[in-house]
């Protein structure tokens, strides 16, 4: 569970870490749009350069970004195979037995792959530089307008932040139950599929029952401390847009504009 890179927060201090989470979220949406719009490699090059600069500012190694690509490799291979078999335009590059591979198949696939890799890199950059709690606050702020149509933005944010808070506790609990079941002879690693299912069940059932108990006690604790869902509360963390945040958003807007214009002029 620890080698999961995608979505992992790197708790260091950097220029990117200090940006307002709302600015980074808006930036994420703008940049993803900018990655999806263009048909020219030049735009990708510009975005890649800016991304490299942002990584430098975030003090995040290229190694982490490359690692975040790992789960996508299978999908990319699949994409390449499907495209190679179906796209029949452009020049014939070479033939593999009965299948002729066309240049467009290769180029189109590469284009989509680069697009995906850029998107993953941008998202990894956001999650690596933003504390999950700040991210929750940012999302809550973005969802705030939806409260007009009675969307419970605050409650959703509270739920997400409590879920985040309890992830380590639940993992610890899982390990404890696993050890307890192992000591009673449950084998989680070996055996047939049906045996493995039974083993997992012996983990999941107690885990759920304990989680529900926790939830009840937590609800009591929250209520006792004066929490009323939907009631007005003040905030300890107050998000503040600074000059650099506006500059950051402006750069993202410029990139998106460039990307849209590139469809007409490049």
Partner 1 sequence: MDLIEIKDVSYSYDDSKKAVDKVSFSVKQGDYVTVIGHNGSGKSTLAKMIAGLLPVKEGSITIDGLEVNEENIAKIRQRLGIVFQNPDNQFIGSTVKDDIAFGLENKRVPSKDMEGIIREYAEKVGLTPFLTYEPQNLSGGQKQRVAIAGILAMAPDIIIFDEATSMLDPKGKKEIKQLMYDLAAGDDITILSITHDIEEVLQSDRCVVLNKGKLFMYDEPEKIFAHADKLREIDLDVPFIEQVREAFGKYKIRLKSDDLKGMVEELCRSGSKS
Residues lying near partner 1 in the complex (CB under 8 A):
132-133, 161-162, 164-165, 168-169, 172, 214, 217-218, 220-228, 231-238
Q: How far is the CB of 219 from partner 1 (least distance, A)?
A: 9
Closest separation between CB of residue 204 and partner 1, Å?
20
Which lies closer to partner 1 via its Cβ, residue 90 or residue 152?
152
Residue 211 neighbours by CB under 8 Å, 6+ apart: 170, 173
Nearer to partner 1, 97 or 226 (CB): 226
Q: Between 92 and 163, whose beta carbon lies closer to partner 1? A: 163
Please identify, using beta-carbon distances, which residue of 75 and 162 lies nearer to partner 1.
162
Name which of 88 and 233 has its Cβ closer to partner 1: 233
CB of 232 to partner 1, least distance (A): 7
Half-sphere exposure (CA, 13 Å, Cβ side) for 151? 13
Q: In the block, which residue shows the tokens 């975040």?
A: 68
Q: How far is the CB of 245 from partner 1 (least distance, A)?
A: 19
228: left (phi over 0), alpha (psi -120 to 50) or beta: beta
Q: How far is the CB of 43 from partner 1 (least distance, A)?
A: 38
User: Exposed/middle/buried for 105, CB within 10 Å: 0-12, 13-18, 19+?
Assistant: buried
């Amino acid at each position: 569970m620890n080698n999961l890179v995608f979505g992992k927060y790197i708790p260091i201090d950097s220029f990117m870490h200090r940006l307002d989470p709302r600015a980074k979220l808006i930036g994420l949406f703008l940049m993803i749009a900018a990655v999806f719009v263009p048909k020219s490699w030049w735009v990708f090059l510009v975005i890649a350069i800016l991304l490299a600069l942002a990584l430098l500012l975030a003090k995040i190694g290229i190694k982490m970004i490359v690692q975040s690509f790992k789960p996508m490799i299978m999908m990319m291979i699949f994409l390449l195979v499907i495209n190679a078999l179906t796209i029949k335009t452009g020049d014939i590059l070479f033939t593999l037995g009965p299948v002729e591979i066309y240049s467009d198949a290769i180029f189109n696939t590469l284009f989509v792959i680069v697009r995906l890799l850029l998107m993953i890199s941008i998202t990894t950059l956001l999650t690596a530089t933003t504390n999950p709690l700040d991210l929750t606050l940012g999302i809550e702020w973005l969802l705030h307008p939806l409260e007009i149509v009675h969307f419970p933005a605050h409650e959703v944010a509270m739920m997400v932040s409590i879920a985040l808070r309890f992830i380590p506790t639940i993992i610890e609990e899982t390990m404890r139950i696993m050890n307890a079941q192992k000591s009673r002879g449950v084998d989680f690693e070996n055996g047939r599929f049906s045996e493995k299912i039974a083993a997992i069940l012996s983990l999941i059932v107690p885990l759920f029952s304990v989680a529900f108990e926790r939830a009840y006690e937590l609800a009591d604790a929250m209520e006792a401390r004066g929490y009323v869902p939907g009631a007005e509360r003040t905030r300890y963390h107050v998000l503040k847009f600074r000059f650099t945040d506006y500059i950051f958003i402006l750069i993202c807007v410029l990139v998106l504009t460039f990307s849209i214009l590139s469809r007409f002029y490049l």
